[in-house]
A and B are shown apart, each in its own frame.
Chain A
Amino acid sequence: MKCQRCDKEAHFHITELTGPKPVEIHLCQDCVREYLSENPNEAVAAAGAAASLAQQMLQQMAVSQTAEELEKLDKLSCPVCGITYFQFRTQGRLGCAHDYTCFRKELENLLVHIHGENQHYGKRPSRPAKHSQLLTTLIRLRREMQQAIAEEKYELAGQIRDEIRHIENQVKNHPG
């Protein structure tokens, strides 16, 4: 049986007799602690645990996948910052803006879990979103250039440098 407050296995089966009718409650080890300490400060602390909300949601999503699917997904890595889906899933933090493209399908689901929605409304920067994507590719290009220099492939490094300049000029010359 699963815990009523999260998706872990319920180890505690409580019959609450304080109300007008007995109520059965099934909780896991973590949630039972929360449940038993009902005072204002604990309530505040419990609300504060929202920091790890993303992690909780990610774990929940992982449970609903088959081991095979998950294994494949976990190996997925971002070409820009190098973070793997497994790293994201366990740390709850993304590595760069491109992760939102790289893990797009998973994030669409995750964001609905967290916010009930995954389409942004509201303020937007005055510059086109395309500039944002172009500049994020610089993260990869800069790393590749450094690597080329380290390997003494100077011609390649020069080519990458030109590419970086090209992108920088593109963004600079068309602001918004």
Chain B
Amino acid sequence: MTIDDLLRKRGEWLRGEGPESDIVVSTRIRLARNLAEFPFASRASQQDREKIEEVIRQVVSQSPFFKDVLFVEVDKISELDRQFLVERQLMSREHAEASHPRALVIHPTERFSLMINEEDHLRIQAVQSGLNLEACWQLVNEVDDEIEKHVVYAFDEKFGYLTACPTNAGTGMRVSVMLHMPALGMARQIEKVFRSLQKLSLAVRGLYGEGSQAMGELYQISNQITLGRSEQEILKNIGDIIPSILNYEREARAFLLKESRDQLHDRISRAYGILRTAQMISSEEAMHLLSSVRMGVMLGLIEDLDIPFLNDLFLHVQPAHLQKLVGTELDGDDRNLERARFLREQLNRRASAGQQKSQSI
């Protein structure tokens, strides 16, 4: 498997399946782990980092559990490939932007990945489509157990798994649920939800994690507390709060449909129209419009598209994906031209396929 092989694949988090997938895009859990016999990242020498990478490479190559994974030396691939892997949510922006030796291990299904030499020696990440906390935990736990057969983690009876930043100590676990919440945004209710979440020690982030903007009305909700609560308690804490957030979004959708159906339908149809006819479009605008169209599909206002197809477009309009699809590196304006061309082709092909189908019936 190569990085380019991922391009035509959907990847776990965009399958558009699983419980509550009308709002919950994906469930993601990451565990922060460090090897006891090496200094943490801030004090690690080039040599330490190379050794850490080697230790994990050995584990991965020896264990049948990791058969068929792709081992990527992140410092040796192109800038475009790095951005591509960030867009696929397989690694963090920080991991892409660092300059020291570091690696990424990707399972072919993209259900789990390992970042080596990120802020901690090891960041194990598992992803499931839809709201799937327990399955996601089982997977990440299994990967963790498998690695732990071969290495000694930094662990303390009192403080749990020891991490470079004390905010991650204890379980080292961060659970993130990615939600698509366009109606709460339109109804200007989203800040209220965020504020109540912050009171519950839950953080809200944009698509690409810390400090990123909420592109395409996609938000990630995650736990802040990692110490003093077991993994099961942390999962339960998030699991208990998600249904009420989903409820807010569904109520907002119902409210918009009831009180301003015509305006909503108009807005969604215009978004669809722009995507099918625009000659130049930025990724932000494309994501924002796709977000409206996605909601239109969910509410039955657009009938000739489905969610997995839209999820693909969400990903493919992003800069690195677009450039890899076109097969050449492009600068801003050219990218906006190609992006618009790509969207017109994809959406008009879908629409005409849909028409043929209905005519033949």
Q: Which residues of A contact B (CB under 8 A)?
A: 38-41, 43-45, 47-51, 53-54, 80-83, 91-97, 100-101, 107, 110-111, 114-127, 129, 131-136, 138-139, 171
Contacts and interface: CB of A to CB of B under 8 A. Distances in A.
A81 B231 contact: no
B191 to A, nearest CB: 5
Most buried by A among B148, B155, B205, B232: B155
Nearest to A51: B210
A109 B153 CA distance: 24
Interface stretch (B38-46, B123-131, B250-258, B287-295): B38-46
A96 B266 CA distance: 58
B41 to A, nearest CB: 7
Contacts of B224: 50, 53
Most buried by B among A39, A50, A138: A50
A120 B158 contact: yes
Contact of A107 (B41, B166, B229): B166
Interface in B203-228: 203-206, 209-214, 219, 224-228
A120 B159 contact: yes
Interface stretch (B69-77, B167-175, B301-309, B319-327): B167-175
B226 A97 contact: no
Contacts of B148: 125-127
Given A95-B43, A115-B227, A44 B166 contact: no
A83 B164 CA distance: 12
Interface in B135-168: 141, 144-145, 148-149, 152-167
B171 A118 contact: no
A170 to B, nearest CB: 11
B interface residue count range (under 10 / 10 to 19 / 20 to 34 / 35 or more): 35 or more
A82 B219 CA distance: 40
Contact of B166 (A82, A95, A114, A116): A114
A39 B191 contact: yes
A111 B225 contact: no
Given A50-B224, A119-B158, A122-B230, A135 B36 contact: yes
B185 interface: yes
A161 to B, nearest CB: 15
Interface in B92-150: 119, 141, 144-145, 148-149
Contacts of A120: 156-161, 169-171, 227-228
B79 interface: no
Given A54-B166, A95-B39, A136 B154 contact: yes
B345 interface: no
Given A44-B212, A94-B166, A122-B233, 15 more contacts: A45-B213, A50-B224, A83-B43, A93-B42, A96-B43, A97-B34, A100-B169, A114-B225, A121-B230, A122-B160, A122-B232, A127-B152, A131-B36, A132-B162, A139-B39
A93 B36 CA distance: 16
Interface string B336-358: 00000000000000000000000
Contacts of A97: 34, 36, 40, 154, 156, 162
